[in-house]
Chain A
Amino acid sequence: MIEGNNFGEKLLGTIKERHILPKPKWQFLLKDYMIWAIGAVALLIGAIATCLVIYMLDADDLDIYKKIDNGLSEFILLAIPFFWLLIFAVFTGVVYYDFKKTKKGYRFTAPVVLSAVVISSILLGGAGYVFGMGKKIDDILGQKAPFYSQLINPRLNMWQKPEKGRLAGLVVSDPGIDRLIIVDRSGKEWILIISDVRTIKFPIRKGLPLRAMGDKISENEFRAYELFPVGPGNGFYQKLRPGAHGGPRGMMFKIQSRMEEKI
Protein backbone atom coordinates (compact mmCIF):
# COMPACT_ATOMS: atom_id res chain seq x y z
CA MET A 1 0.00 0.00 0.00
CA ILE A 2 1.09 3.53 -0.72
CA GLU A 3 0.96 4.61 2.95
CA GLY A 4 3.36 2.01 4.25
CA ASN A 5 6.19 2.04 1.74
CA ASN A 6 8.98 4.58 1.43
CA PHE A 7 7.55 5.93 -1.77
CA GLY A 8 8.56 9.52 -1.01
CA GLU A 9 12.15 8.72 -0.08
CA LYS A 10 12.63 6.61 -3.20
CA LEU A 11 11.23 9.35 -5.39
CA LEU A 12 13.41 12.06 -3.84
CA GLY A 13 16.39 9.73 -4.09
CA THR A 14 15.81 9.33 -7.82
CA ILE A 15 15.52 13.09 -8.24
CA LYS A 16 18.85 13.61 -6.47
CA GLU A 17 20.57 10.73 -8.23
CA ARG A 18 19.64 11.99 -11.65
CA HIS A 19 20.34 15.62 -10.65
CA ILE A 20 16.86 16.60 -11.78
CA LEU A 21 16.10 20.26 -11.27
CA PRO A 22 12.89 22.23 -11.75
CA LYS A 23 12.65 23.91 -15.14
CA PRO A 24 13.83 27.52 -14.91
CA LYS A 25 11.20 30.19 -14.45
CA TRP A 26 12.20 32.04 -17.62
CA GLN A 27 10.95 29.13 -19.76
CA PHE A 28 7.47 29.52 -18.32
CA LEU A 29 7.58 33.30 -18.57
CA LEU A 30 8.68 33.05 -22.21
CA LYS A 31 5.81 30.68 -22.96
CA ASP A 32 3.35 33.06 -21.28
CA TYR A 33 4.69 36.07 -23.19
CA MET A 34 4.52 34.15 -26.48
CA ILE A 35 0.89 33.25 -25.85
CA TRP A 36 0.01 36.86 -25.09
CA ALA A 37 2.02 38.14 -28.08
CA ILE A 38 0.26 35.75 -30.46
CA GLY A 39 -3.06 36.87 -29.03
CA ALA A 40 -2.16 40.54 -29.46
CA VAL A 41 -1.08 40.04 -33.08
CA ALA A 42 -4.23 38.07 -33.87
CA LEU A 43 -6.37 40.78 -32.25
CA LEU A 44 -4.56 43.42 -34.30
CA ILE A 45 -5.20 41.52 -37.54
CA GLY A 46 -8.84 41.11 -36.54
CA ALA A 47 -9.03 44.84 -35.89
CA ILE A 48 -7.49 45.60 -39.29
CA ALA A 49 -10.06 43.33 -40.91
CA THR A 50 -12.82 45.15 -39.01
CA CYS A 51 -11.41 48.48 -40.19
CA LEU A 52 -11.53 47.28 -43.80
CA VAL A 53 -15.06 45.90 -43.39
CA ILE A 54 -16.22 49.31 -42.16
CA TYR A 55 -14.33 51.05 -44.98
CA MET A 56 -15.85 48.87 -47.66
CA LEU A 57 -19.37 48.99 -46.26
CA ASP A 58 -19.19 52.73 -45.78
CA ALA A 59 -17.99 53.23 -49.34
CA ASP A 60 -20.90 51.27 -50.71
CA ASP A 61 -22.88 53.31 -53.18
CA LEU A 62 -26.35 51.92 -52.64
CA ASP A 63 -27.76 54.06 -55.44
CA ILE A 64 -25.29 52.61 -57.91
CA TYR A 65 -25.96 49.04 -57.02
CA LYS A 66 -29.70 49.49 -57.17
CA LYS A 67 -29.30 50.28 -60.84
CA ILE A 68 -27.48 47.06 -61.54
CA ASP A 69 -29.43 44.32 -63.31
CA ASN A 70 -29.71 41.38 -61.00
CA GLY A 71 -31.20 42.98 -57.93
CA LEU A 72 -30.71 42.17 -54.27
CA SER A 73 -28.82 38.91 -54.53
CA GLU A 74 -26.13 40.34 -56.78
CA PHE A 75 -26.02 43.44 -54.61
CA ILE A 76 -25.41 41.39 -51.48
CA LEU A 77 -22.73 39.33 -53.20
CA LEU A 78 -20.96 42.45 -54.35
CA ALA A 79 -21.49 44.75 -51.41
CA ILE A 80 -20.59 42.48 -48.52
CA PRO A 81 -16.80 42.30 -47.99
CA PHE A 82 -16.67 38.52 -47.50
CA PHE A 83 -12.88 38.37 -47.60
CA TRP A 84 -12.44 40.72 -44.65
CA LEU A 85 -15.30 39.13 -42.75
CA LEU A 86 -13.62 35.76 -43.15
CA ILE A 87 -10.29 37.17 -41.93
CA PHE A 88 -12.10 38.72 -38.98
CA ALA A 89 -13.83 35.44 -38.12
CA VAL A 90 -10.65 33.37 -38.39
CA PHE A 91 -8.58 35.68 -36.22
CA THR A 92 -11.34 36.09 -33.68
CA GLY A 93 -11.15 32.31 -33.35
CA VAL A 94 -7.37 32.48 -32.99
CA VAL A 95 -7.64 35.07 -30.20
CA TYR A 96 -10.28 33.01 -28.40
CA TYR A 97 -8.24 29.81 -28.61
CA ASP A 98 -5.09 31.63 -27.56
CA PHE A 99 -6.78 33.32 -24.60
CA LYS A 100 -8.03 29.98 -23.35
CA LYS A 101 -4.39 28.83 -23.24
CA THR A 102 -3.41 31.60 -20.81
CA LYS A 103 -3.01 30.75 -17.13
CA LYS A 104 -6.46 31.96 -16.11
CA GLY A 105 -8.25 31.96 -19.45
CA TYR A 106 -10.32 28.94 -18.45
CA ARG A 107 -12.18 31.05 -15.86
CA PHE A 108 -14.12 32.88 -18.57
CA THR A 109 -16.96 31.41 -20.60
CA ALA A 110 -16.92 31.35 -24.39
CA PRO A 111 -19.62 34.06 -24.81
CA VAL A 112 -17.70 36.41 -22.50
CA VAL A 113 -14.38 35.89 -24.28
CA LEU A 114 -15.83 36.10 -27.77
CA SER A 115 -17.85 39.23 -26.92
CA ALA A 116 -14.73 40.88 -25.52
CA VAL A 117 -12.73 39.99 -28.63
CA VAL A 118 -15.44 41.21 -31.02
CA ILE A 119 -15.98 44.46 -29.11
CA SER A 120 -12.21 45.11 -28.93
CA SER A 121 -11.85 44.48 -32.67
CA ILE A 122 -14.73 46.83 -33.45
CA LEU A 123 -13.35 49.57 -31.20
CA LEU A 124 -9.80 49.25 -32.53
CA GLY A 125 -10.96 48.80 -36.11
CA GLY A 126 -13.33 51.74 -35.80
CA ALA A 127 -10.54 53.93 -34.47
CA GLY A 128 -8.34 52.83 -37.36
CA TYR A 129 -11.08 53.68 -39.84
CA VAL A 130 -11.58 57.14 -38.34
CA PHE A 131 -7.86 57.83 -38.78
CA GLY A 132 -7.97 56.75 -42.42
CA MET A 133 -6.23 53.40 -41.98
CA GLY A 134 -8.93 51.62 -43.98
CA LYS A 135 -8.23 53.60 -47.15
CA LYS A 136 -4.44 53.43 -46.67
CA ILE A 137 -4.41 49.65 -46.25
CA ASP A 138 -6.81 49.12 -49.13
CA ASP A 139 -4.71 51.34 -51.42
CA ILE A 140 -1.53 49.43 -50.55
CA LEU A 141 -3.23 46.07 -51.08
CA GLY A 142 -4.72 47.30 -54.35
CA GLN A 143 -1.26 48.16 -55.62
CA LYS A 144 0.65 45.18 -54.29
CA ALA A 145 -1.61 42.25 -53.47
CA PRO A 146 -2.00 39.59 -56.16
CA PHE A 147 -5.61 38.50 -56.65
CA TYR A 148 -6.85 41.81 -55.18
CA SER A 149 -9.77 42.00 -57.61
CA GLN A 150 -10.50 38.27 -57.40
CA LEU A 151 -10.49 37.87 -53.64
CA ILE A 152 -10.33 41.12 -51.72
CA ASN A 153 -12.47 43.39 -53.84
CA PRO A 154 -14.34 41.40 -56.48
CA ARG A 155 -16.83 44.22 -56.96
CA LEU A 156 -14.22 45.81 -59.27
CA ASN A 157 -15.07 43.18 -61.87
CA MET A 158 -18.51 44.62 -62.42
CA TRP A 159 -16.89 47.87 -63.57
CA GLN A 160 -15.12 46.15 -66.42
CA LYS A 161 -18.35 45.63 -68.41
CA PRO A 162 -18.56 48.44 -70.98
CA GLU A 163 -21.08 46.50 -73.07
CA LYS A 164 -23.35 46.54 -69.99
CA GLY A 165 -22.80 50.23 -69.47
CA ARG A 166 -20.19 50.15 -66.70
CA LEU A 167 -16.58 51.19 -67.05
CA ALA A 168 -13.84 52.19 -64.62
CA GLY A 169 -10.31 53.33 -65.16
CA LEU A 170 -7.55 55.80 -64.48
CA VAL A 171 -7.74 59.28 -66.05
CA VAL A 172 -4.57 59.65 -68.12
CA SER A 173 -5.25 62.94 -69.89
CA ASP A 174 -5.98 66.44 -68.75
CA PRO A 175 -9.77 66.60 -68.93
CA GLY A 176 -11.20 68.46 -71.89
CA ILE A 177 -14.54 70.25 -72.00
CA ASP A 178 -16.45 67.21 -73.15
CA ARG A 179 -14.08 64.27 -73.06
CA LEU A 180 -11.10 62.68 -71.45
CA ILE A 181 -9.02 59.54 -71.78
CA ILE A 182 -9.01 56.72 -69.28
CA VAL A 183 -7.14 53.43 -69.11
CA ASP A 184 -9.17 50.46 -67.94
CA ARG A 185 -7.79 47.58 -65.88
CA SER A 186 -6.77 45.64 -68.99
CA GLY A 187 -4.60 48.56 -70.09
CA LYS A 188 -6.95 49.59 -72.89
CA GLU A 189 -7.43 53.29 -73.51
CA TRP A 190 -10.92 54.72 -73.80
CA ILE A 191 -12.26 58.07 -74.88
CA LEU A 192 -14.76 58.92 -72.23
CA ILE A 193 -17.36 61.41 -73.45
CA ILE A 194 -18.63 63.38 -70.49
CA SER A 195 -20.79 66.01 -72.17
CA ASP A 196 -24.00 64.24 -71.15
CA VAL A 197 -23.13 63.96 -67.46
CA ARG A 198 -25.57 66.24 -65.63
CA THR A 199 -23.59 66.82 -62.45
CA ILE A 200 -20.00 65.95 -61.72
CA LYS A 201 -19.77 65.89 -57.94
CA PHE A 202 -16.01 65.55 -57.64
CA PRO A 203 -13.03 67.25 -59.29
CA ILE A 204 -11.69 65.26 -62.22
CA ARG A 205 -7.99 65.41 -62.89
CA LYS A 206 -5.24 63.41 -64.50
CA GLY A 207 -4.22 60.50 -62.31
CA LEU A 208 -7.61 60.07 -60.69
CA PRO A 209 -9.48 56.73 -60.94
CA LEU A 210 -13.19 56.99 -61.69
CA ARG A 211 -16.24 54.90 -62.55
CA ALA A 212 -18.70 55.63 -65.30
CA MET A 213 -22.19 54.41 -66.14
CA GLY A 214 -23.38 54.95 -69.69
CA ASP A 215 -23.16 53.35 -73.13
CA LYS A 216 -20.39 51.87 -75.17
CA ILE A 217 -20.34 53.69 -78.50
CA SER A 218 -17.47 51.97 -80.24
CA GLU A 219 -14.48 49.79 -79.50
CA ASN A 220 -12.75 52.56 -77.61
CA GLU A 221 -15.43 55.16 -76.96
CA PHE A 222 -17.80 55.30 -74.03
CA ARG A 223 -20.50 57.90 -73.42
CA ALA A 224 -20.99 58.50 -69.72
CA TYR A 225 -24.26 59.58 -68.12
CA GLU A 226 -23.03 59.32 -64.55
CA LEU A 227 -19.58 59.54 -62.99
CA PHE A 228 -18.45 58.34 -59.58
CA PRO A 229 -15.15 58.35 -57.75
CA VAL A 230 -13.52 55.01 -56.92
CA GLY A 231 -13.54 54.19 -53.20
CA PRO A 232 -12.10 50.79 -52.33
CA GLY A 233 -9.83 49.82 -55.20
CA ASN A 234 -8.35 53.29 -55.64
CA GLY A 235 -4.83 51.90 -55.21
CA PHE A 236 -5.58 49.12 -57.69
CA TYR A 237 -6.37 51.59 -60.46
CA GLN A 238 -3.48 53.89 -59.57
CA LYS A 239 -0.99 51.33 -60.91
CA LEU A 240 -2.59 51.19 -64.37
CA ARG A 241 -0.65 52.30 -67.43
CA PRO A 242 -1.71 52.49 -71.10
CA GLY A 243 -0.95 49.26 -72.93
CA ALA A 244 0.11 47.56 -69.73
CA HIS A 245 -2.08 44.55 -70.51
CA GLY A 246 -1.80 44.57 -74.25
CA GLY A 247 -4.23 47.37 -74.97
CA PRO A 248 -3.65 49.69 -77.91
CA ARG A 249 -0.84 52.12 -77.25
CA GLY A 250 -0.40 55.63 -78.42
CA MET A 251 -4.04 56.55 -78.64
CA MET A 252 -3.55 59.08 -75.94
CA PHE A 253 -1.16 61.13 -78.02
CA LYS A 254 -3.42 61.08 -81.09
CA ILE A 255 -6.54 61.95 -79.14
CA GLN A 256 -4.85 64.65 -77.15
CA SER A 257 -3.57 66.23 -80.33
CA ARG A 258 -7.08 66.17 -81.80
CA MET A 259 -8.44 67.74 -78.63
CA GLU A 260 -5.79 70.46 -78.77
CA GLU A 261 -6.61 71.11 -82.41
CA LYS A 262 -10.29 71.58 -81.57
CA ILE A 263 -9.43 74.07 -78.89
Chain B
Amino acid sequence: MLNIENTENLSDEELAKLTLENQDYFLYIIERYKVKLFNYIRRISNLGEEDAEDILQEIFFKAYLNLNDFDQDLKFSSWVYSIARNHTISSHRKKKARAEGYSVPLDDRIVESLAIEFDVRNNVDKRLLKEDIQKVLDGLNPKYSEVLELKYLEEKNYQEISDIIKKPLGTVASMINRAKKEFVKQLSSSVENFKP
Protein backbone atom coordinates (compact mmCIF):
# COMPACT_ATOMS: atom_id res chain seq x y z
CA MET B 1 0.00 0.00 0.00
CA LEU B 2 1.21 3.51 -0.75
CA ASN B 3 2.37 5.87 1.97
CA ILE B 4 -0.51 8.26 2.63
CA GLU B 5 1.83 11.09 3.69
CA ASN B 6 3.37 11.10 0.23
CA THR B 7 0.00 11.55 -1.42
CA GLU B 8 -1.40 14.35 0.72
CA ASN B 9 0.76 16.95 -0.99
CA LEU B 10 -0.04 15.69 -4.45
CA SER B 11 -2.57 17.57 -6.56
CA ASP B 12 -5.54 15.76 -8.07
CA GLU B 13 -3.96 16.12 -11.49
CA GLU B 14 -0.72 14.52 -10.28
CA LEU B 15 -2.66 11.70 -8.64
CA ALA B 16 -4.52 11.08 -11.90
CA LYS B 17 -1.23 10.85 -13.77
CA LEU B 18 0.25 8.51 -11.18
CA THR B 19 -2.84 6.28 -11.26
CA LEU B 20 -2.02 5.47 -14.88
CA GLU B 21 1.28 4.02 -13.68
CA ASN B 22 0.04 2.45 -10.45
CA GLN B 23 -3.68 1.85 -9.88
CA ASP B 24 -3.28 2.03 -6.09
CA TYR B 25 -3.15 5.82 -6.36
CA PHE B 26 -6.77 5.76 -7.49
CA LEU B 27 -7.81 5.01 -3.91
CA TYR B 28 -6.69 8.50 -2.86
CA ILE B 29 -8.72 10.08 -5.63
CA ILE B 30 -11.73 8.10 -4.41
CA GLU B 31 -11.15 9.19 -0.81
CA ARG B 32 -10.86 12.85 -1.81
CA TYR B 33 -14.04 12.85 -3.88
CA LYS B 34 -16.37 10.22 -2.53
CA VAL B 35 -18.22 12.42 -0.01
CA LYS B 36 -18.37 15.49 -2.28
CA LEU B 37 -19.65 13.50 -5.24
CA PHE B 38 -22.04 11.47 -3.10
CA ASN B 39 -23.70 14.66 -1.83
CA TYR B 40 -23.66 16.17 -5.32
CA ILE B 41 -25.38 13.11 -6.80
CA ARG B 42 -28.06 13.25 -4.11
CA ARG B 43 -28.60 16.96 -4.62
CA ILE B 44 -29.16 16.73 -8.38
CA SER B 45 -31.30 13.60 -8.30
CA ASN B 46 -34.00 12.24 -6.04
CA LEU B 47 -31.99 9.25 -4.96
CA GLY B 48 -31.68 7.73 -1.51
CA GLU B 49 -28.31 6.79 -0.02
CA GLU B 50 -28.10 3.27 -1.42
CA ASP B 51 -28.97 4.24 -4.97
CA ALA B 52 -26.62 7.21 -4.80
CA GLU B 53 -23.82 4.92 -3.64
CA ASP B 54 -24.40 2.64 -6.62
CA ILE B 55 -24.27 5.61 -8.98
CA LEU B 56 -21.13 6.84 -7.25
CA GLN B 57 -19.45 3.49 -7.80
CA GLU B 58 -20.34 3.59 -11.51
CA ILE B 59 -18.99 7.12 -11.74
CA PHE B 60 -15.64 6.15 -10.27
CA PHE B 61 -15.45 3.16 -12.64
CA LYS B 62 -16.15 5.48 -15.53
CA ALA B 63 -13.55 7.97 -14.35
CA TYR B 64 -10.96 5.19 -14.01
CA LEU B 65 -11.73 3.76 -17.46
CA ASN B 66 -11.49 7.18 -19.08
CA LEU B 67 -8.45 8.43 -17.19
CA ASN B 68 -6.44 8.68 -20.42
CA ASP B 69 -9.06 11.12 -21.68
CA PHE B 70 -8.48 13.56 -18.84
CA ASP B 71 -7.29 16.85 -20.31
CA GLN B 72 -4.53 18.29 -18.12
CA ASP B 73 -5.67 21.79 -19.17
CA LEU B 74 -8.79 21.29 -17.08
CA LYS B 75 -9.05 20.90 -13.34
CA PHE B 76 -9.49 17.27 -12.37
CA SER B 77 -12.35 18.30 -10.11
CA SER B 78 -14.29 19.79 -13.05
CA TRP B 79 -13.65 16.67 -15.11
CA VAL B 80 -14.88 14.24 -12.49
CA TYR B 81 -17.87 16.42 -11.60
CA SER B 82 -18.77 16.50 -15.30
CA ILE B 83 -18.72 12.70 -15.42
CA ALA B 84 -20.81 12.59 -12.25
CA ARG B 85 -23.34 15.02 -13.65
CA ASN B 86 -23.75 13.29 -16.99
CA HIS B 87 -23.92 9.83 -15.50
CA THR B 88 -26.43 10.83 -12.84
CA ILE B 89 -28.65 12.54 -15.40
CA SER B 90 -28.56 9.63 -17.80
CA SER B 91 -29.13 7.06 -15.05
CA HIS B 92 -31.95 8.78 -13.23
CA ARG B 93 -33.80 11.78 -14.65
CA LYS B 94 -34.01 14.75 -12.31
CA LYS B 95 -37.41 15.61 -10.92
CA LYS B 96 -38.50 19.15 -10.21
CA ALA B 97 -39.72 18.38 -6.74
CA ARG B 98 -37.49 16.02 -4.81
CA ALA B 99 -39.07 13.28 -2.74
CA GLU B 100 -39.39 14.05 0.96
CA GLY B 101 -36.46 13.17 3.10
CA TYR B 102 -34.05 12.66 0.25
CA SER B 103 -32.54 16.13 0.35
CA VAL B 104 -29.00 16.51 1.55
CA PRO B 105 -29.08 18.73 4.63
CA LEU B 106 -27.47 22.11 4.07
CA ASP B 107 -24.31 22.89 5.92
CA ASP B 108 -24.57 25.82 8.38
CA ARG B 109 -21.58 27.40 6.74
CA ILE B 110 -23.34 27.30 3.38
CA VAL B 111 -26.54 28.76 4.84
CA GLU B 112 -24.44 31.56 6.30
CA SER B 113 -22.79 32.35 3.00
CA LEU B 114 -26.13 32.26 1.19
CA ALA B 115 -27.62 34.57 3.80
CA ILE B 116 -24.80 37.05 3.22
CA GLU B 117 -24.99 36.71 -0.56
CA PHE B 118 -28.72 37.37 -0.61
CA ASP B 119 -28.67 39.89 2.17
CA VAL B 120 -31.02 38.10 4.51
CA ARG B 121 -31.27 40.03 7.73
CA ASN B 122 -29.58 38.76 10.84
CA ASN B 123 -32.69 38.47 12.94
CA VAL B 124 -34.11 35.70 10.77
CA ASP B 125 -34.18 32.36 12.53
CA LYS B 126 -31.34 30.40 10.93
CA ARG B 127 -33.09 27.06 11.35
CA LEU B 128 -36.14 28.31 9.53
CA LEU B 129 -33.96 29.96 6.94
CA LYS B 130 -32.23 26.63 6.27
CA GLU B 131 -35.58 24.98 5.66
CA ASP B 132 -36.75 27.82 3.45
CA ILE B 133 -33.60 27.82 1.38
CA GLN B 134 -33.85 24.05 0.92
CA LYS B 135 -37.50 24.35 -0.10
CA VAL B 136 -36.76 27.13 -2.58
CA LEU B 137 -33.84 25.21 -4.11
CA ASP B 138 -35.97 22.11 -4.45
CA GLY B 139 -38.72 24.08 -6.14
CA LEU B 140 -36.57 25.98 -8.63
CA ASN B 141 -36.32 25.11 -12.30
CA PRO B 142 -33.60 22.41 -12.46
CA LYS B 143 -31.34 24.46 -14.74
CA TYR B 144 -31.34 27.24 -12.12
CA SER B 145 -30.98 25.03 -9.07
CA GLU B 146 -28.10 23.22 -10.77
CA VAL B 147 -25.96 26.31 -11.24
CA LEU B 148 -26.80 27.69 -7.79
CA GLU B 149 -25.86 24.39 -6.19
CA LEU B 150 -22.58 24.27 -8.06
CA LYS B 151 -21.77 27.86 -7.12
CA TYR B 152 -22.87 28.01 -3.51
CA LEU B 153 -23.04 24.43 -2.31
CA GLU B 154 -20.17 22.90 -4.25
CA GLU B 155 -18.32 26.26 -4.20
CA LYS B 156 -17.25 26.12 -7.82
CA ASN B 157 -16.15 29.21 -9.73
CA TYR B 158 -17.62 30.25 -13.07
CA GLN B 159 -14.94 28.54 -15.17
CA GLU B 160 -15.37 25.29 -13.27
CA ILE B 161 -19.14 25.43 -13.67
CA SER B 162 -18.63 26.07 -17.40
CA ASP B 163 -16.38 22.99 -17.63
CA ILE B 164 -18.82 20.84 -15.64
CA ILE B 165 -22.05 21.67 -17.44
CA LYS B 166 -20.30 22.22 -20.80
CA LYS B 167 -21.68 25.66 -21.53
CA PRO B 168 -19.86 28.89 -22.46
CA LEU B 169 -18.70 31.14 -19.65
CA GLY B 170 -21.05 33.95 -20.65
CA THR B 171 -24.00 31.58 -20.64
CA VAL B 172 -23.07 30.35 -17.17
CA ALA B 173 -22.89 33.93 -15.90
CA SER B 174 -26.33 34.81 -17.22
CA MET B 175 -27.80 31.55 -15.95
CA ILE B 176 -26.47 32.29 -12.45
CA ASN B 177 -27.84 35.82 -12.68
CA ARG B 178 -31.28 34.62 -13.63
CA ALA B 179 -31.12 31.84 -11.07
CA LYS B 180 -30.28 34.32 -8.31
CA LYS B 181 -33.18 36.56 -9.27
CA GLU B 182 -35.55 33.64 -9.29
CA PHE B 183 -34.17 32.39 -5.98
CA VAL B 184 -34.60 35.79 -4.35
CA LYS B 185 -38.11 36.12 -5.72
CA GLN B 186 -39.15 32.77 -4.29
CA LEU B 187 -37.29 33.24 -1.03
CA SER B 188 -38.88 36.63 -0.41
CA SER B 189 -42.32 35.09 -0.49
CA SER B 190 -41.29 32.46 2.10
CA VAL B 191 -39.09 34.34 4.53
CA GLU B 192 -40.31 37.05 6.89
CA ASN B 193 -37.98 40.02 7.21
CA PHE B 194 -36.39 39.21 3.88
CA LYS B 195 -36.62 42.10 1.53
CA PRO B 196 -34.46 41.89 -1.59
Q: Tell me the A residues contacting B by CB distance below 8 Å.
A: 1-3, 7-9, 11-12, 15-16, 20, 22-25, 27-28, 103, 106-109
Contacts and interface: CB of A to CB of B under 8 A. Distances in A.
Interface string B63-80: 011111101000000000
Interface string B170-196: 110000000000000000000000000
B64 A8 contact: no
B171 to A, nearest CB: 7
Residue in A8, A27, A108 with the greatest tally of chain B CB atoms within 10 Å:
A8
Contacts of A109: 168, 170-171
A11 B61 CA distance: 8
Given A20-B61, A20-B64, A23-B65, A9 B27 contact: yes
Contacts of B64: 15, 20, 22
A28 B71 CA distance: 11
21 contacts: A2-B53, A3-B34, A7-B34, A9-B27, A11-B30, A11-B61, A12-B27, A12-B30, A15-B61, A20-B64, A20-B65, A23-B65, A23-B69, A28-B66, A28-B68, A28-B69, A106-B162, A106-B166, A106-B168, A107-B169, A109-B168
B144 interface: no
Contact of B31 (A8, A23, A27): A8
Contact of A107 (B26, B57, B162): B162
Contacts of A11: 30, 57, 60-61
B89 interface: no
Given A2-B53, A9-B27, A22-B65, A107 B168 contact: yes
B108 interface: no
Nearest to A110: B168
A28 B67 CA distance: 10
A22 B49 CA distance: 28
A169 B27 CA distance: 79
Contacts of B20: 22
Contacts of B57: 7, 11
Given A23-B69, A109-B168, 13 more contacts: A2-B38, A2-B56, A7-B34, A8-B30, A9-B27, A12-B23, A12-B24, A16-B23, A22-B65, A23-B65, A25-B68, A28-B66, A108-B168
Contacts of A3: 34-35
B34 A2 contact: yes
B8 to A, nearest CB: 15
The size bracket of the interface on B is 20 to 34
Contacts of B166: 106
A24 B65 CA distance: 9
Contacts of A27: 68
Q: What's the dominant secondary structure at chain A's contact region?
A: helix
Contacts of A28: 66, 68-69
Contacts of A24: 68
Interface in B1-36: 19-20, 23-24, 26-27, 30-31, 34-35
Contacts of A8: 27, 30-31, 34
A2 B35 contact: yes
Nearest to A103: B71
A188 B18 CA distance: 79
List the 10 closest A-B pairs by CB distance, nearest first. A8-B30, A106-B166, A25-B68, A22-B67, A28-B69, A2-B38, A109-B168, A8-B27, A12-B27, A22-B68
Nearest to A5: B53
A20 B61 CA distance: 9
B81 to A, nearest CB: 14
Nearest to B33: A8
B126 interface: no
Contacts of A16: 23
A212 B147 CA distance: 67
Contacts of B92: none
Contacts of A15: 23, 26, 61, 64
B167 interface: yes
Contact of B66 (A12, A23, A103): A23
